[in-house]
């Protein structure tokens, strides 16, 4: 049977010793978010993930969702688990207190996302989609829409979705055909008609109402993305009773079917049909894509945490197996002579896979939490310059961590299967499910190729490179501060070299891309991987510095810090060198990719 234990010691290390989470309590509105309170929240969150969500992960995968006559049933136990989750206030952890939220920092929610996704990725889809809907309505809704929908989404009594994709268009949203007409009621609402596919949590039995946010075209709208509007289309039309909103008449929409998927089977992925459904414009007409991207960016950060969370649970199970499974003797002689064979963790190739997983997970955790902390600064800092700098950094790193962490989440799950050997291929051991679940994260919320294009096509040149400077400047400052520290030499010098290569290749892509966008496109995926590895190198150097300092003063966690330093050395010696190969691939240009005619494939 698979196992999962929330990595609280590693989480606290990043929050308190690397990032200094106490700084958040100085931001306006976060005075109560003390380190002690944050720890208490995370500990309680770990309990619900370990004790409520994780035990349903395998059974939910086995049973899946069931659809019949437009009604979707989630697997056994999911409704009770969801009720426990909402009663604990977890849906509104970082939400506005004016609408019933706890008002905790977004960083705390980021931590919870990792644990939820590790414990039960499919379950996490339901509250995750609601959070995106909450953020879009909170930012773009009028006061009436906010007062109606936000308290329901925050409490979890109602859930939310995002409806973008249609059978003929996915990434190219300018092609959408879902149309809008004036509703016969002439009450300011609109009649929405069309079909949407791949709608996560589009129909289920967890909540009393579902709030769909639907992209569609108003009459006479301009062609392409400039003519898209966003509408609130509830499953049941809200009615006011006794000062509260309750579900009223069924709206003219239905789930036509659910997809039968290779993974996240307990998450209902629906084909939604709108037949003159009543909806209300959210935000400005023809500005729907801007509002939807509020959900998309939140979702992309959430998907990045899916990659990290699944990697963590896969690694935990691979590690447990490697310590128990006896096969052969160590190459340099028996390590456990009292046993008939040594555990496979003594073998170099098994250690390679485990260390690669460990280095990725712990480095990405630090990087993700850094992004989460900057989200809070972007929303709460008192001065505009601090808010802008933090927002720029989040915007730059969002496509990087979405793509890299989901790529590596799948690779980590795959290598966990490899560690287990034949057992990794067997459902009962649980690890093959992690590989199946992780694979979707590389595709939805913008494929990882699209993330790479976003990085080179939008983020790189935005505001004359201002976003890039938000990353390069603090990294360079750290390198300069530590370059004369002998203890840090083994980390600083390879980091400095990798940063210089990244800056060089950035300039090359910018120059070539101005002349020929195909050059930028051809470089994009390798550039993103190179950037991600440098960002992880920065995090590992910071973690190494903290560990060295803690080792120097002594204390009761010597083994913990020694483990951090050993993993940091592995990263710098066995993972960061990949940046050299990626550099060469980018510098090769577009010709090797584009010179072969389509007929030659």
- What is the C-alpha to C-alpha distance for residues 138 and 151, in angstroms, rounded to an integer? 11
CB 528 within 8 A of CB 536: no
Residue 103 CA, distance from chain mean position:
21
Who contacts 598 (Cβ-Cβ below 8 Å, separation ≥6)?
none
**E-assigned strand segments in 11-150:** 66-68, 71-73
Structure tokens at 445: 């919320």
Beta bridge partner(s), residue 231: 214, 281
User: Residue 333 gets which letter from DSSP?
Assistant: S
- What is the C-alpha to C-alpha distance for residues 520 and 507, in angstroms, rounded to an integer? 11
Burial 387-398 (b: 16+ CB within 10 A, else e): bebbbbbbbbbb
- What is the C-alpha to C-alpha distance for residues 385 and 381, in angstroms, rounded to an integer? 9
Give the phi and the psi of residue 347 in degrees, each rounded to 5.
-85, 135
> Among this protein's residues, is 445 annotated catalytic?
yes
Q: How big, in percent rounded to 5, are the helix, strand and coil portions of the chain?
A: 65, 15, 25
**Residues 114, 432, 445, 519: which is the catalytic one?**
445
CB 347 within 8 A of CB 331: yes
Question: Which residue matches tokens 């993330």?
Answer: 451
- What is the C-alpha to C-alpha distance for residues 439 and 262, in angstroms, rounded to an integer? 9
Q: Which residues are catalytic?
A: 445
């Amino acid at each position: 049977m698979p196992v999962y234990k929330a990595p609280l010691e590693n989480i606290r290390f990043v929050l308190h010793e690397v990032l200094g989470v106490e700084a958040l309590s100085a931001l306006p509105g976060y005075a109560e978010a003390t380190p002690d309170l944050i720890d208490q929240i995370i500990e309680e969150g770990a309990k619900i993930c370990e004790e409520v969500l994780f035990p349903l992960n395998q059974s939910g995968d086995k049973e899946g969702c069931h659809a019949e006559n437009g009604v979707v049933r989630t697997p056994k136990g999911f409704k009770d688990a969801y009720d426990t989750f909402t009663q604990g206030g977890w849906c509104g952890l970082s939400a506005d207190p004016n609408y019933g939220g706890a008002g905790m920092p977004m960083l705390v929610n980021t931590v919870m996302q990792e644990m939820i996704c590790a414990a039960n990725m499919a379950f996490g889809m339901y509250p995750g989609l609601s959070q995106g809907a909450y953020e879009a309505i909170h930012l773009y809704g009028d006061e009436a829409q906010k007062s109606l929908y936000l308290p329901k989404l925050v409490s979890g009594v109602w859930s939310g979705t995002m409806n973008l994709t249609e059978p003929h268009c996915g990434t190219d949203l300018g092609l959408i055909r879902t149309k809008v007409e004036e509703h016969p009621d002439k009450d300011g609402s609109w009649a929405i008609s069309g079909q949407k596919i791949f709608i996560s949590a589009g129909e289920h039995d967890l909540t009393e109402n579902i709030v769909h946010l639907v992209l569609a075209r108003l009459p006479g709208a301009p062609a392409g993305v400039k003519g898209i509007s966003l509408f609130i289309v509830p499953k049941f039309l809200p009615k006011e009773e006794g000062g509260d909103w309750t579900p009223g008449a069924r709206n003219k929409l239905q789930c036509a079917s659910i997809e039968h998927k290779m993974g996240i089977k307990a998450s209902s992925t629906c084909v939604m049909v709108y037949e003159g459904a009543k909806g209300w414009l959210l935000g400005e007409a023809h500005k729907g894509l801007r509002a939807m991207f509020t959900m998309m960016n939140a979702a992309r950060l959430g998907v990045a945490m899916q990659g990290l969370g699944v990697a963590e649970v896969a690694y935990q199970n691979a590690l447990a197996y490697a310590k128990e499974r006896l096969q052969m003797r160590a190459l340099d002689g028996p390590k456990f002579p009292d046993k008939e064979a040594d555990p496979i963790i003594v073998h170099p190739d098994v250690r390679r896979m485990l260390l690669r997983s460990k280095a990725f997970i712990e480095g990405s955790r630090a990087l993700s939490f850094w992004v989460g902390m900057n989200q809070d600064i972007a929303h709460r800092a008192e001065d505009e310059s601090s808010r802008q700098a933090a927002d720029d950094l989040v915007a730059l790193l969002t496509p990087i961590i979405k793509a890299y962490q989901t790529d590596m989440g799948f690779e980590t799950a795959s290598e966990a299967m490899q560690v287990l050997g034949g057992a990794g291929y067997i459902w009962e051991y649980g690890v093959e499910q992690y590989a199946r679940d992780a694979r979707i994260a590389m595709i939805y919320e913008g494929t990882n190729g699209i993330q790479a294009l976003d990085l080179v096509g939008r983020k790189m040149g935005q505001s004359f490179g201002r976003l890039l400077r938000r990353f390069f400047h603090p990294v360079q400052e750290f390198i300069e501060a530590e370059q004369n520290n002998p203890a840090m030499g083994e980390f600083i010098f390879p980091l400095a070299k990798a940063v210089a290569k990244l800056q060089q290749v950035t300039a090359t892509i910018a120059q070539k891309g101005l002349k020929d966008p195909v050059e930028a496109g051809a470089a994009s995926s390798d550039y993103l991987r190179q950037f991600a590895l440098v960002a992880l190198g920065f995090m590992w150097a910071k973690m190494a510095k903290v560990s060295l300092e803690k080792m120097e003063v002594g204390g009761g966690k010597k083994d913990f810090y020694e483990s951090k330093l050993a993993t940091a050395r592995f990263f710098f010696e066995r993972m960061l060198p990949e940046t050299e190969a990626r550099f060469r691939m980018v510098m090769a240009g577009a010709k090797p990719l584009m010179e072969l005619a389509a007929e030659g494939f």
